[in-house]
Structure 1
Amino acid sequence: MLAWRRRSDSARLLAELASTGTPVTHAVLDQLLQSPRMAAVDYLRKLLIATNVLPDRLEPLARLGPWLDAQLADQPAEHQRLVRPFAQWVVLRKARRAAIRGRYTGSSANADREDIRQALVLLSWLTERHLTIDDLTQAHLDEFMALVRSKRRRAVRAFTAGTAARRITPELIIARRRDDTPSRFIAEEHHLDLLRRCLTTGGPAPLDVKVAGSLILLYGVRLSKIHSLTIDRLSRDNRGTYLAIDSVAVLLPPNLAQLVDQLIAEPPRTFGLRPTTPALTTYLFPGRPPTRPIGPATLGARLRRHGIPVGAARNTALIALAAELPAAVIADLFGLTYKTASAWSSYAQADWTAYLNSRTVP
């Protein structure tokens, strides 16, 4: 604790806030988010939530509003007039609905920020050509879209759909150019070797990597679902241990069930303070502090450091499952939408043997 007080940016920040005599609130911390000390602000907020000084909140959604204000602060008044209603009534409204359903994540927030950012990019592009949004035609939009990366086309489409709904622009078409066919796989032999390494007790890989890697290699579960799994999603009967990844519990292989039990008994130590309430230990993959799950990006980086290519491993697992199970079963068991599960079933109908071997990831 003494070392933390001497060296930590978060400790210095806490001392500065305490010296002001003003109560420390989420709003006070939000004002510091754009400073170079953002990492210290993040950690301090988590610390105060973990010790019940601040109430918990859905951080990805809560940060979207302050981020929007910061983005628009230096924009021309005309750009603010167009983007703020789009952000408030389209982006944030959709985000709040997703949050109510428990489906709003950090990745969702990144996509929403991209929608707003691309709206500003389009308006800046028009300004450089001495045009306004009222002048936007299909020819102008086609010219702009030729400069936009495929992954950002959806963001531009969201904004132009909003301006058309408000009758600021006519109905404009953005052609769908993205190819959703999966392209990254690993060879079957390598896939099985990784799975053996994950399911074998001992070895250099830590328990959390083994368990998360097994869930990806066996069931193709997204990191955005794995990172927030809680212990109460486990159940047991005389057949074994079950994990409810989505709406239906999956019977775990005995080796994986044993690893899960070890992980619960010996969670990774990521936080200096000892848990003070049972709620602090509910996450299967606790973060810093354990009132929060580990971030999906952090978990993905840990898996890759231990030789597990997350995207390719997930694709390989899903194509194998889709060849054996109906789309509806895959959707219920592993948290996919029915549309996505059906697409994987369509991919699996072809003979992928030669293709998978040619796409081997070392």
Structure 2
Amino acid sequence: MATGQAAISHETFHDLPSDRAHYYLRDLLAAVGVLEPYEPRIERITPWLTEQTTPLTPAHRQTIEQFAHWSVIRRLRHAADRDQLTKGAVQGARYQIKKTIELLAWLEHRDTTITDATQTHIEAYLDSTTTSTVTIIAQFTRWLADTGTNTHVSVASLPPSKAAVTMTDDERWRHVRTLLHDDSIRLYVRIGGLFMLLFAQSLTSISRMRADQIDITNPDRVTVAFRHEPVQMPEPLGALLREQLTRRAHASYASRDNGWLFPGGRPGRHLLTENFRGALVDLSIHPHSARHAALFSLATEVPHMILAQTLGISHTNAITWAALAARDWSGYIPHRAAQ
């Protein structure tokens, strides 16, 4: 590329080895604007899909490719456009495609195509599958109906799981004390875990926070704008945030900074949620349980409309947790107006 023997383009990388060195160079060129932005985790699904569908008949191969590209991968691209794509989402997409391929292979063994499949076929297949597979096949049958591929089969969707709290308040505060005072834990893990345990932030939101969301201009306090309204940080969390900003200023991030509070190893990208999740689980802090415990605790103390406004969660989610905490904040606004 440097000598002009190859074009500086994404197409050139398609013909180069798929290894870490080439991935890094391609990410670097995209980060500095030489190449157009791209999402490698999505792009790598296409060759994998071709390999997975090889055993299928041409008709079924075409069906699964259409479903994968226009439904599953399209959903991933929307998440990537919002900078909300996670490793779990990509793995889930691959799993969804794989389970759908297994259904098509099952039908082929019975000399049936997906266009000719009946409700009896689908129910017979689901008799020996897991709950997660039922959910996946339900999504696939909806796509079949929407595209007119097969309008005679359907699977009822399972009801969404209700909010639940599995971490006690004592456990939550024990984890908070550990993260506040254990200097052997990596700084980004301490800050991310405290944002989750104290302010119910999701790992997805934490990983893509920007440095300008932190305000340290006042020497007596540190504030964080999780959404619009700044929230004052308790100490020593405020001190940890000052240290993180100092490290960013002194470190040589070069092209991979891009304003992220937690810059990642890939040029121009933030730290992945998996970096936070893996480190927290190693400390016996399970993110799902920890965030639910924080939401429950906050919902007992703060009106749901304030939670949604300051923490960046939806009003519906805030109301759900207020109901679970058995707190009725309907009189909050008239009471505030009266004062």
Aligned positions, number: 326
Counterpart of 1:168 (choices 132, 141, 149) is 149
Segment of structure 1 superposing worse, 121-130 or 234-243:
234-243
Equivalent of 1:29 in 13, 18, 32:
13
Partner of 2:289: 312
Aligned position for 2:237: 256
How far apart are 1:122 and its partner, in Å? Answer: 1.6
- For the 8 Å contact 2:60–2:113, the answer to whether it is kept is no
Instruction: Give the Å deviation of 1:319.
Output: 1.5
SS of 2:231's equivalent in the other structure is: strand
Question: Residue 221 of structure 1 aligns with which residue?
Answer: 201
Structure-to-structure mapping, 1:1-362, within 5 angstroms: 21-23=5-7, 25-30=9-14, 38-49=19-30, 54-73=35-54, 75-177=56-158, 180-182=161-163, 185-200=166-181, 203-235=183-215, 240-267=221-248, 274-276=252-254, 280=257, 282-289=259-266, 291-349=268-326
Contact 2:295 2:321 in 1 (8 A): yes
CA distance in 1, matches of 2:237, 2:275: 22
SS at match of 2:38: coil
Higher mean alpha-carbon deviation, 235-244 vs 259-268, is at 235-244
Q: Deviations over 1:92-148 (max 9, x none)?
A: 444444444444444443343343333222211211222211332222222222333
User: Are the aligned partners of 1:61 and 1:104 in contact in 2 as well (CA < 8 Å)?
Assistant: no
Conserved? CA contact 1:245–1:335, under 8 Å? yes
Alpha-carbon contact 1:161-1:171 (below 8 Å) kept: no
**Residue 256 of structure 1: CA displacement?**
1.5
Shift of 1:208: 1.1
Contact (CA 8 Å) 2:165, 2:292: kept in 1 or not? yes
- Aligned CA distance change for structure 1 residues 92 and 312 (closer, same or farther; 3 Å): closer
What TM-score results when the alignment is normalised by the length of structure 2?
0.80
User: What TM-score results when the alignment is normalised by the length of structure 1?
Assistant: 0.75
Offset at 1:158?
A: 2.0
Contact kept? 2:180, 2:237, Cα under 8 Å:
yes
More deviation in 203-212 or 165-174? 165-174
Change (3 A) 1:260 1:148: farther
Q: Indicate how the Cα distance of structure 1 residues 344 and 184 shifts in structure 2: closer, same or farther if over 3 A, else same.
A: closer
Q: CA deviation at 1:48?
A: 4.3
The percent identity for this pair of structures is 25
Question: Which position in structure 2 is the counterpart of 1:359?
Answer: none
Gaps of 5+ in 1: 1-16, 351-362
- For residues 21 and 73 of structure 1, what CA distance do their matches in structure 2 show? 35
Q: Answer whether contact 1:60 1:105 (CA < 8 A) is retained.
A: no
1:133 is paired with a residue whose SS is coil
Compute the displacement of 1:223 (Å): 1.1
Letter in structure 2 aligned against 1:186: M
